[in-house]
């Protein structure tokens, strides 16, 4: 039986980023403030690691005075720095439990466990509404903020953004806002504010969503094909556009697979050189690869959500938490599997779906690649090849990823029905 919380559709959080337009003096104050906050955070993290104190309340008792004295921080900013450190260790411990850094006893895990967290000078620093306040322009194209800095309060600091995102900030912004600085190749800094918006839940009446799905679209995430959908037209389109055999992309740069392979080979060549110039190029390439992955993920998520909205169906995704460390892959597959932002793709689908009221479920992926969608027979040998499924019981043959997506949709329907049978769920 699936718990109600596991399958109830909820609104999601969406991150909105706006660009700051400071003058020279304001930018200098912002950059130095961020550097001081992160230097203090590194000190607090080292103390937390040495004393083995990670809970927010306990860490505050141990480091609050040190944080204020070390960086000359205001009371609220010092509290935010300590919370940031505590949250970072919470995330680190969760990743360790999920096997993100390898099994117990592995060299990588031991190195992570023995090293205190460090923060880059330009890393994001959260500010609450007492340290940062917003004033929006009537046309939703920007506005001004007032923010605490090491030089005192900086007022009338302009920000700009897309009107839809600025309007979302005005209506749905919740919690703290992150200040972050990014630098171009010449080292020139640009400051941004990143805020989280709580989008409203889909409409509900009598305990049920008004947009109750008329079926489910299962989305299978994989090594050869980034995403495949159980909707046949959509699934074929995703395979033809983003899959292993996709034709050359825009500007003749090759298919998604070719781009990923070329990026990996170039990355390996630069890592072997191990020079300062090679490391600089690696950092630039990493940003370029991240932009490429985000662009592809946006394209896939837009297509999936558009089909779900048009057909009145929900979207079913695999729960892939810790999947990279749980699955056993051949060596040639490991780099391919670990080089794509599957969590980002899932997040893109979730927030795009929430904006148009499409339900999204996360299901257990166990045996979704081994179960026959015709007779229900489950066997590891049903999948003799990476992209081929052949049922040993009834002889049904299909593309393996298509099978996976149909089983994900089937499991979502079962979970959703289970919710409606839970006493008091309606």
User: Among 130, 169, 131, which residue's Cα sits nearest to residue 147?
Assistant: 131
Q: Rounded to an integer, what distance in angstroms lies between the CA atom of residue 326 and that of residue 338?
A: 12
Q: Rounded to an integer, what distance in angstroms lies between the CA atom of residue 266 and that of residue 60?
A: 45
Task: Give the largest CA-CA distance in the chain.
Answer: 74
Under 8 Å between Cβ of 83 and 137: no
Under 8 Å between Cβ of 121 and 69: no
Under 8 Å between Cβ of 305 and 315: yes
Q: Rounded to an integer, what distance in angstroms lies between the CA atom of residue 63 and that of residue 82?
A: 8
Residue in the structure block whose two tokens are 């929006």: 136
Instruction: Name the region of 329 (left: φ>0; alpha: ψ -120 to 50; beta: rest).
Output: beta
- Rg of the chain (C-alpha set): 24
Under 8 Å between Cβ of 15 and 194: yes
The structure tokens listed for 79 are 């509290």
Under 8 Å between Cβ of 328 and 335: no
Under 8 Å between Cβ of 331 and 380: no
pLDDT of 4 reads: 27
The structure tokens listed for 122 are 């330009």
CA separation, residue 197 to residues 200, 203, 269 (Å): 9, 18, 41
Under 8 Å between Cβ of 351 and 199: yes
DSSP code string of 239-296: HHHHSTT----GGG---HHHHHHHHHHHHHHHHHH--HHHHHHHHHHHHHHHHHHHHH
Q: Rounded to an integer, what distance in angstroms lies between the CA atom of residue 217 and that of residue 235?
A: 10
Residues of the chain with pLDDT under 70: 1-12, 201-211, 244-255, 257, 321-340, 420-426
pLDDT of 145 reads: 96
Output the pTM of the full model. 0.66
Under 8 Å between Cβ of 325 and 99: yes
pLDDT of 61 reads: 95
Under 8 Å between Cβ of 382 and 331: no
Q: Rounded to an integer, what distance in angstroms lies between the CA atom of residue 122 and that of residue 43?
A: 16
- Please work out, in degrees rounded to the nearest 5, the angle formed at the alpha carbon of residue 154 by the alpha carbons of 151 and 158: 140
Under 8 Å between Cβ of 226 and 243: yes
pLDDT of 357 reads: 83
pLDDT of 384 reads: 85
What is the per-residue burial (b if ≥16 Cβ within 10 Å, else e) of 393-423?
A: eeebeebbbbbbbbbbbbbbbebbebbeeee
pLDDT of 243 reads: 73
Instruction: Name the region of 163 (left: φ>0; alpha: ψ -120 to 50; beta: rest).
Output: alpha
Q: Rounded to an integer, what distance in angstroms lies between the CA atom of residue 260 and that of residue 293?
A: 9
Residue in the structure block whose two tokens are 């489950």: 378
Sign, CA torsion 411/296/125/36: positive
Q: Rounded to an integer, what distance in angstroms lies between the CA atom of residue 357 and that of residue 211?
A: 7
Under 8 Å between Cβ of 246 and 254: no
Under 8 Å between Cβ of 16 and 168: yes
Q: Rounded to an integer, what distance in angstroms lies between the CA atom of residue 154 and that of residue 148?
A: 6
223 alpha carbon, distance to own chain's centre: 18
pLDDT of 326 reads: 47
Under 8 Å between Cβ of 9 and 202: yes
pLDDT of 239 reads: 85
pLDDT of 257 reads: 67
Domain extent listing, the chain = 13-198, 208-421
241-272 pLDDT tens trace: 887 655 554 434 556 767 777 888 888 888 88
């Amino acid at each position: 039986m699936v718990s109600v919380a596991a399958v109830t559709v909820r609104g999601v959080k969406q991150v909105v980023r706006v660009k700051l337009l400071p003058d020279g003096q304001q930018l200098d104050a912002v950059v130095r403030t961020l550097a001081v906050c992160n230097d203090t955070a590194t000190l607090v993290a080292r103390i937390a690691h040495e004393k083995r104190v990670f809970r927010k309340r306990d860490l505050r008792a141990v480091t609050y005075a040190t944080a204020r004295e070390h960086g000359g921080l205001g009371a609220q900013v010092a509290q935010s720095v300590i919370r940031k450190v505590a949250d970072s260790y919470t995330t680190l411990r969760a990743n360790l439990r999920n096997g993100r850094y390898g099994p117990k006893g592995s060299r990588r895990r031991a190195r992570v466990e023995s090293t205190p967290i460090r923060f880059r000078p330009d890393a994001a620093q959260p500010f609450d509404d007492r340290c940062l306040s917003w004033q929006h322009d009537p046309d939703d194209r920007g506005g001004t903020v007032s923010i605490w800095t090491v030089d005192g309060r900086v007022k009338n600091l302009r920000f700009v953004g897309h009107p839809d995102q600025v309007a979302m900030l005005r209506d749905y912004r919740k919690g703290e806002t992150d200040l972050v600085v990014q630098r171009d190749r010449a080292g020139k800094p640009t400051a941004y504010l990143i805020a989280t918006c709580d989008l409203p839940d889909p409409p509900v009446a009598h305990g049920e969503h008004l947009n109750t799905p008329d079926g489910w679209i299962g989305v299978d995430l994989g090594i050869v094909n980034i995403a495949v959908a159980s909707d046949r037209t959509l699934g074929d389109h995703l395979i033809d556009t983003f899959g292993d055999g996709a034709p050359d992309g825009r500007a003749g740069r090759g298919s998604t697979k070719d781009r990923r392979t070329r990026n990996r080979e170039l990355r390996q060549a630069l890592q072997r050189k191990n020079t300062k110039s090679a490391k600089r190029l690696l950092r630039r390439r990493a940003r370029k690869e991240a932009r490429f992955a985000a662009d592809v993920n946006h394209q896939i998520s837009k297509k999936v959500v558009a089909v779900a909205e048009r057909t009145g169906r929900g979207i079913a995704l695999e729960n892939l938490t810790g999947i990279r460390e749980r699955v056993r892959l051949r060596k040639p597959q490991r780099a391919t599997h670990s080089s794509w932002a599957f969590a980002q793709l899932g997040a893109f689908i979730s927030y795009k779906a929430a904006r148009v009221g499409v339900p999204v479920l996360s299901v257990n992926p166990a045996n979704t690649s081994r179960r026959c969608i015709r007779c229900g027979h489950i066997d590891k040998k049903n999948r003799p090849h990476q992209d081929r499924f052949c049922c040993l019981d009834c002889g049904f043959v299909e593309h393996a990823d298509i099978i996976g997506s149909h089983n994900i949709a089937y499991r979502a329907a079962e979970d959703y029905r289970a919710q409606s049978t839970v006493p008091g769920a309606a």
